[in-house]
Structure 1
Amino acid sequence: MEWIYEPWPWYVSGPMIALIMFLLLMVGKNFGMSSNLRTLCTICGAGNTADFFKFDWKAQRWNLVVVLGAVIGGFIGDQFLSMDTAVAINPETVSDLKSLGFESAGTAYMPFELFDISAFTDVKSLAVLTIGGLLVGFGTRYAGGCTSGHAISGLSDLQLPSLIAVIGFFIGGLTMIHFIYPLIF
């Protein structure tokens, strides 16, 4: 059972994702996590004020179960299946991150400097998280889906808009990490 404590290689996890995508395509479903935000807003009554939220949310219950499974699976993986929380990244990257003030780089999956509860008392961290969240939300709505929806579901369905969106995600990520990130930190 030691294999369950280690990251699974691409040749195991990749075909598993492909199998799930094949099954979803066979039953006419599109995978994407961001569509659940629309569903949750509709459940909370947002359809009373905006036409975008007027749709049959009950047809999306299956996708809410996916989100619940991701949350539960993440909790189980973190609490019971993770012996080592360090991320295997290039030592030069660790050095660069530490020079930018991320002392937890290379020892934790998510940097404590941004994701610890103390981030809510630091104005800079709070601003970065708020602005980043707004930009991700805007980009998701503007692109018509999130990275998982476009990169996994859209590309497997051979959709040109998804290919364009994925290229845009990569360009945006590269621009952020190489030019904007060093300016912020």
Structure 2
Amino acid sequence: MEWIFEPWPWYVSGPLIALIMFLLIFIGKKFGMSSNLRTMCTLCGADKKSDFFDIKWRDYGWNLVVVIGAVIGGFIGANLLGGEMIADINPDTVAKLKELGFASAGQEYMPEKLFATEALTDIKSLIILLSGGLLIGFGARYAGGCTSGHAISGLSNLQMPSLIAVIGFFIGGLFMVHILFPFIF
């Protein structure tokens, strides 16, 4: 039973994800987290303001269970199964992060500089969070789905737009980490 409390290796979790994707494809469903936002907005009445939200939310209600499961699973993983989780970061990366002001790099799973409640009172952190959220929201809508939808579901369906989107996600991530991140911090 001790194996439950350790991170599962790729050769266990990977085939489980593949099995879920096979079952979703088999029953004709598509997976993606950003589509849940559209469903939730429709539930809150956004369909009365915009045709984009004029959907039959019950057709997508099953996907809301995924969100609930992700929240519950994340809580269980972090609070009951996580233990003393510390990200295993390359020492060179730790040194660079410390140069950028992340004093807790390599000592905590989530750096206080980004995830402490004080970050919500710091104007620089708020601007980063808000602009990042807007860019992610715009990008997910413009790309026709989020990273999970394209990388897991789209690639499983062998969709060329998803391959292009995933390549774009990686290029954007590399650009952020190597160009913008040092500039911001």
Shared fold (TM-score greater than 0.5)? yes
Counterparts of 1:152 and 1:76 in 2: how far apart (Å)? Answer: 23
- SS at 1:83's partner residue? coil
- SS at 1:17's partner residue? helix
Q: Is the 8 A contact 1:32 1:150 kept in 2?
A: yes
- The farther-off stretch of 122-131 and 101-110 is 101-110
Give the aligned partner of residue 109 of structure 2: 109
Structure 2 gaps of 5+ residues are none
Counterparts of 1:30 and 1:5 in 2: how far apart (Å)? Answer: 30
Q: How does 1:24-103 map to 2 (within 5 A)?
A: 24-103=24-103
Matched, 1:145 2:145: yes
Give the aligned partner of residue 23 of structure 1: 23
- Number of paired residues? 185
CA shift, 1:116, in A, is 1.2
- Show CA shifts across 1:29-77 (max 9, x none): 1110010000000000001111000000011111100100000000011
CA shift, 1:110, in A, is 2.0
CA shift, 1:108, in A, is 2.3
What fraction of aligned residue pairs are identical, expressed as a percent? 69
- SS at 2:174's partner residue? helix
Matched, 1:132 2:132: yes
**TM-score, normalised via structure 2 length:** 0.98
Counterparts of 1:22 and 1:157 in 2: how far apart (Å)? Answer: 9
Give the aligned partner of residue 5 of structure 1: 5
Structure 1 gaps of 5+ residues are none
Counterparts of 2:78 and 2:17 in 1: how far apart (Å)? Answer: 21
Q: Is the 8 A contact 1:34 1:146 kept in 2?
A: yes
Counterparts of 1:61 and 1:71 in 2: how far apart (Å)? Answer: 16
- SS at 1:8's partner residue? coil
Supply the RMSD in Å over aligned alpha carbons: 0.8
Counterparts of 2:110 and 2:38 in 1: how far apart (Å)? Answer: 27
Counterparts of 1:110 and 1:136 in 2: how far apart (Å)? Answer: 20
